[in-house]
Amino acid sequence: MDDIKIKKGKILVYRVFDIGSEIDLEKVEALFEDKKLKERFKLDRKHNMSLIISRSPVSVQLGNFEINIQDRRVTSELVAKVWHFGTVSLCFQIPMTDSCSWLDLVKTASWIENDQEIEVLARNKAKEFQNDIKHAIPVLNDWVMNEDYVTYLIQEFDGFAAPLATLIDRVDIPALILAESKEMLSDSIKRSTIENVFQYSKDDLVVVDWNAALVVEPSGSMDVPLVIEFALNQLLEMRYYDDLLDQRLNTLYNEVVGRKKGLFSNKYSRLAEEAGQIYLEISEIVENVENSFKTVGDFYLATIFRASSKRFRFDDWKRSINEKLGNLAEVSKLLHSEVNESRNQTMEMIIILLIAVEVVPLIFSLLKP
């Protein structure tokens, strides 16, 4: 393993944040025509012709930043991608050092995994960026959770001339993917980590896992990293709506426990309507994930996307969301029925009282001698 070195490559460190209900991408582009933003940031108008993503994200170069990696300072380029469904993904592009050994790369991966500098910087930049484009966001979000991911993009090796398919046998890919520089991984963990291995040609290789990916691409194409980034943004949206549903259910339960229903209260009606709106919104996002992504020419990138979705457990998140949507709608419906029943009982009492008001004087008048 020590004789294999990396001649050219970069580490793509992602931090994805939900910053709004949705984002008007045309307004974002218009905002970056402003002189102040032009001076600070550079709008990237390049479009990848091998990918078709419904409402393609807007890419913005946020500049270069010095980042501490182990005992050295490296210059990292920071690129933001703004997605119409309300997320922004920040990508720190860290160059790999020339003649970096595989063991050194694993140590670097472990450092990035445990260091908090990138996390803090990403949160600050995401907040600043949200403020810069706030006029393109109808409703601002301040969700504390975020997604993180690392893609190791290698263009050229030094000291490795064998078929690329044999790389799995020559270096410890699971140690890199899991950022484990000290632990001796078990065979079962290693098999699980590298079960998603793909090759389009003999010169490229992709290994996708839940927290990191290895991409060997001599051309330096960003197609595969972009596909994984897209899936990562969709994952964050599923997590966001899953958490939002938890909040809605808790709110509903708190409204019910120990509270009396008012005669003219429409509280539960509003909750039922809100549940319906949330259901439609979430269903549209979840069901249109694959419809938002298409490829031109072949299905290789679509295969990468499906593998990423599976590794990110899309199906589990969908199931959780659907169950909570069903619970929210059902409970709201039952409470709405109780309110109607309470109103009906109250109206019956009023009718009885009105009848009594009419009948009692009549009875007294009949009883008079």
CA 355 – CA 16 distance, rounded (Å): 66
CA 49 – CA 57 distance, rounded (Å): 14
3-class SS at 187? helix
Residues 87, 237 contacting (CB under 8 angstroms): yes
Token representation of residue 236: 């964050």
256 exposure class (CB count in 10 Å sphere: 0-12, 13-18, 19+): middle
Token representation of residue 151: 């893609």
* C-alpha distances out from residue 99 to 5, 7, 287, Å: 5, 5, 45
Domain residue spans of the chain: 5-220, 231-357
Token representation of residue 23: 């984002």
State whether the Cα torsion 152-155-157-162 is positive or negative. Answer: positive
Residue position matching structure tokens 């039922």: 272
pLDDT at 359: 73
Q: What does the pLDDT look like over 6-28, one tens digit per residue?
A: 999 999 999 999 999 889 999 99
Q: Other C-beta atoms within 10 Å of 54: how many?
A: 10
Indicate if the pLDDT at residue 231 is higher than 70: yes
CA 286 – CA 194 distance, rounded (Å): 27
Token representation of residue 182: 């000290």
- pTM for this model (two decimals): 0.85
What's at 127, amino acid-wise? K
What string of DSSP letters covers 260-276? PPPTT--HHHHHHHHHH
CA 77 – CA 229 distance, rounded (Å): 17
State whether the Cα torsion 47-210-13-105 is positive or negative. Answer: negative
pLDDT band at 49 (very low <50, low <70, confident <90, very high): very low
From 317, 348, 175, select the one nearest 239 (Cα to Cα): 317
176 exposure class (CB count in 10 Å sphere: 0-12, 13-18, 19+): buried
CA 353 – CA 73 distance, rounded (Å): 84
Indicate if the pLDDT at residue 258 is higher than 90: no
CA 81 – CA 230 distance, rounded (Å): 10
Radius of gyration of the chain (CA): 28
Q: What does the pLDDT look like over 150-180, one tens digit per residue?
A: 999 999 998 888 889 899 999 999 999 999 9
Residues in the chain: 369
CA 178 – CA 152 distance, rounded (Å): 12
Q: What does the pLDDT look like over 305-352, one tens digit per residue?
A: 889 989 999 889 888 988 888 887 777 666 666 666 666 666 777 787
3-class SS at 134? helix
pLDDT at 257: 64
* DSSP code, position 165: G
Question: In the predicted model, what is the mean pLDDT of residues 169-194?
Answer: 91
3-class SS at 75? strand
Token representation of residue 354: 């009105």
3-class SS at 67? strand
Determine which of 59-68, 168-177, 285-294 has the lowest per-residue pLDDT on average: 285-294
